[in-house]
Structure formats: C-alpha cells, structure tokens
Amino acid sequence: MGRLGIPILALALALAGAGASFAQTFEERLSQCLACHGERGQSEIPEVPSLGGQPAMYVLIELFMFRQNLRTAPPMNDMTAGLSDADLQKFADAIAKLPPPQPAEGADPARMARAQALVQQHRCAFCHNNFAGADNVPRLAAQREDYLLKALREYKAGTRREYQPVMAEVMAALKDEDLVDLAHFLAHVGAP
C-alpha cells in the first residue's frame, strides 16, 4: 500500500456511507408517506387525504397518474418521480392494508339530509360501493371533509384529471353548495 492508500480507503468508506443514507429501504420510504397521510390510515393534516382502506387498484392508478404528471398535486408528483411500476404496486399493496379512518363527529342533521337526497339522485353510493370503494373506485367514507371538498371542486372545475372521465360528468349537474353538503356527509359516514 503506497502513501495514498489510507486516504483513498477512507474516501471510499465515506462514499459508501453516504450512499447507504440515500438508498432508503421500502419501510423507510413508506414511513415518509405515512408521516403526511397518518400512520394508522387516518390523516391529521388539512387537505391531505386519509389512505386507510383505499382499494389497492385505485391507489395504484392514482400513483401512476401522479408519476406521469397527469394528476397534478404537489408534493405527490415529486414523491412518485422516478419510482418503478413495481415500487408503485408495493406502495399500493401496503396502503390497502391500513385500517380505514373513523367518521368525524358533530354531523349537522340538516346538511346530512340535503346530501342524502343528492346521493340518491346521483347514485354516488352505487358506484362507490356504499362508500367503501372497490377496484378503481375510491373509498369515500370518513375521508377528511376539507380534502373531499377540494377534490369535488377540482372535478367540477375540470382541474383534476381522471383515469376515465366519470366524476366531471357527475359534477356537471351539481352546484357549489351541493359539494359543500356532500363533503360534510361523506366525512361523517362509516362503511364496512
């Protein structure tokens, strides 16, 4: 070993150490996701959706949409940039196993009744499997009210791109005050 031997070895070890701290395990990356979305499937952060109980297929489709910048939403476009299809599938499978969120308390009976009429008229429960979601259709039961209202407004305004244009059509017949009541209702209902 020459005079440079030790410094070069030290440099190589330092680089290997730096590399290890960048290459995170799947569990470390998942815990980053859940720091925002809630460890137990229930989000505590305004406008960040709860993910517990979401069907794996819906989650996979949305992660794909974020990665391809088809659904635009900071920070999700950054979080999914560069992930492989297999990574997206792993996140989707892990998320689908989180326990579903609990309905919010303090429902306003008048708003619940108005929303219930809209739900019947627009077949929300039919498509959304009594709000539990299934396959490519999301769970809505006990989702955060602020996120639900944001999502509905974005569909209505045409700013949230869908995999297939379903919700934009449903929203066409609804007014903003209807969306406010629907978000309130969904945040306060449970589902299996």
Under the binding rule (CB under 6 A), the answer on residue 68 touching ligand HEC is no
Q: 141 CB contacts (<8 Å, ≥6 apart)?
A: 53, 100, 101, 103, 130, 131, 132, 186, 189, 190, 191
Count of residues interacting with ligand HEC (CB under 6 A): 37
Under the binding rule (CB under 6 A), the answer on residue 99 touching ligand HEC is no
Quick one: which segment of 4-12, 15-23, 29-37, 104-112 binds ligand HEC (CB under 6 A)? 29-37
Q: 59 CB contacts (<8 Å, ≥6 apart)?
A: 51, 91, 92, 95, 96
Under the binding rule (CB under 6 A), the answer on residue 69 touching ligand HEC is no
Compute the distance between CA of residue 69 and CA of residue 131 in angstroms, rounded to an integer: 27
Environment class of 183 (CB within 10 Å of its CB; exposed 0-12, middle 13-18, buried 19+): buried
Closest CA relative to residue 50, chosen from 126, 145, 178: 145
Residue type, 144: R
Under the binding rule (CB under 6 A), the answer on residue 165 touching ligand HEC is no
If the CB atoms of residues 21 and 58 are measured against ligand HEC, the closer one turns out to be: 58
Q: How far is the CB of 152 from ligand HEC (least distance, A)?
A: 5
Under the binding rule (CB under 6 A), the answer on residue 56 touching ligand HEC is no
Q: Are 91 and 59 in contact (CB under 8 A)?
A: yes
Half-sphere exposure of 106 (CA within 13 A, CB side): 2
Residues 102-161 that bind ligand HEC (CB under 6 A): 118, 122-124, 127-128, 136-138, 140, 148, 150-152
Residues 2-21 that bind ligand HEC (CB under 6 A): none
Under the binding rule (CB under 6 A), the answer on residue 32 touching ligand HEC is yes
Residue ranges in contact with ligand HEC by CB under 6 A: 29, 32-33, 36-37, 47-49, 51, 59, 62-63, 73, 75-76, 79, 91, 118, 122-124, 127-128, 136-138, 140, 148, 150-152, 162-163, 166-167, 170, 182
